[in-house]
A and B are shown apart, each in its own frame.
Chain A
Amino acid sequence: GENVEQHPSTLSVQEGDSAVIKCTYSDSASNYFPWYKQELGKRPQLIIDIRSNVGEKKDQRIAVTLNKTAKHFSLHITETQPEDSAVYFCAAPNTGGFKTIFGAGTRLFVKA
Chain B
Amino acid sequence: DAGVTQSPTHLIKTRGQHVTLRCSPISGHKSVSWYQQVLGQGPQFIFQYYEKEERGRGNFPDRFSARQFPNYSSELNVNALLLGDSALYLCASSLEGWGTYEQYFGPGTRLTVT
Contacts and interface: CB of A to CB of B under 8 A. Distances in A.
A34 B106 contact: no
B105 A98 contact: no
A102 B90 CA distance: 13
Nearest to B44: A102
Interface in A18-40: 30-32, 34, 36
B100 A51 contact: yes
B100 to A, nearest CB: 4
Contacts of A94: 56, 99
Size category of the A interface is: 20 to 34
Contacts of B99: 30, 32, 92-94, 97-100
Interface string B99-114: 1111111111000000
Contacts of B43: 44, 89, 102
Given A44-B90, A93-B98, A104 B42 contact: yes
Nearest to A36: B105
A100 B42 contact: no
B42 A98 contact: no
Interface string B2-25: 000000000000000000000000
A32 B102 CA distance: 9
B28 interface: no
A100 B107 contact: no
Contact of B103 (A30, A42, A46, A96): A46
Given A34-B102, A46-B103, A99-B57, 11 more contacts: A32-B100, A36-B105, A43-B105, A43-B106, A43-B107, A51-B100, A97-B100, A98-B98, A99-B99, A102-B42, A105-B41
24 contacts: A30-B99, A32-B100, A34-B102, A43-B90, A44-B90, A45-B105, A46-B102, A46-B103, A49-B102, A51-B100, A89-B42, A93-B98, A96-B56, A96-B98, A97-B100, A98-B50, A98-B55, A98-B56, A99-B48, A102-B35, A102-B43, A102-B45, A104-B41, A104-B42
